[in-house]
């Protein structure tokens, strides 16, 4: 990673940090809040995130309300455990009820270029 980012990652992390406890947001939702980004970029930013950044990446899931599986990783299991520890429940299909836990971002959080 370059010595200095274009700020895109920081913006994404900033949004993810706004997700309150017990709520979840989708990659596309975040991508819509960050101008100049795309669902792929959000996913890439989450892959590059580190525990030290203090970003609750486990609260970021795909539009289906399910945890995305990554390359040969077992992180998906940890993510599920973290979400359950926050009071979020999964249904039989291992999916989250977005109607109940879906995070609605306030307007003032939206970026206006």
**C-alpha neighbours within 13 Å on the C-beta side of residue 10:** 4
1 vs 53: CA distance, rounded Å: 15
Applying CB under 7 A, the span of 10-18, 31-39, 82-90, 103-111 interacting with DNA comes to: 31-39
Interface with DNA, residue 24, by CB under 7 A: no
Q: What are the Cα distances from residue 89, in Å, to 76, 98, 112? A: 15, 11, 34
Interface with DNA, residue 60, by CB under 7 A: yes
Among 11, 16, 37, 80, binds DNA (CB under 7 A): 37
Applying CB under 7 A, the span of 16-24, 34-42, 80-88, 97-105 interacting with DNA comes to: 34-42
Interface with DNA, residue 8, by CB under 7 A: yes
**C-alpha neighbours within 13 Å on the C-beta side of residue 110:** 7
Interface with DNA, residue 58, by CB under 7 A: yes
45 vs 52: CA distance, rounded Å: 14
**Contact residues: DNA, CB under 7 A:** 1, 5-6, 8-9, 26-28, 31, 36-44, 46-47, 49, 57-58, 60, 62-64, 68-71, 75, 79, 93
């Amino acid at each position: 990673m370059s010595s200095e980012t274009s700020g895109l990652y920081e913006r994404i992390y900033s949004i993810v940090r706004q997700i309150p406890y017990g709520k979840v947001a989708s990659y596309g939702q975040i991508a819509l809040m960050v101008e100049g980004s795309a669902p792929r970029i959000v996913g890439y930013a989450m892959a590059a995130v580190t525990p030290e950044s203090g970003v609750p990446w486990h609260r970021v899931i795909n539009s289906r309300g399910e945890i995305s599986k990554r390359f040969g990783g077992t992180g998906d299991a940890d993510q599920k455990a973290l979400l359950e520890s926050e009071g979020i429940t999964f249904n039989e299909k291992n999916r989250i009820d977005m109607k109940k836990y879906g995070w609605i971002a306030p307007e003032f959080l939206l970026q206006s270029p």
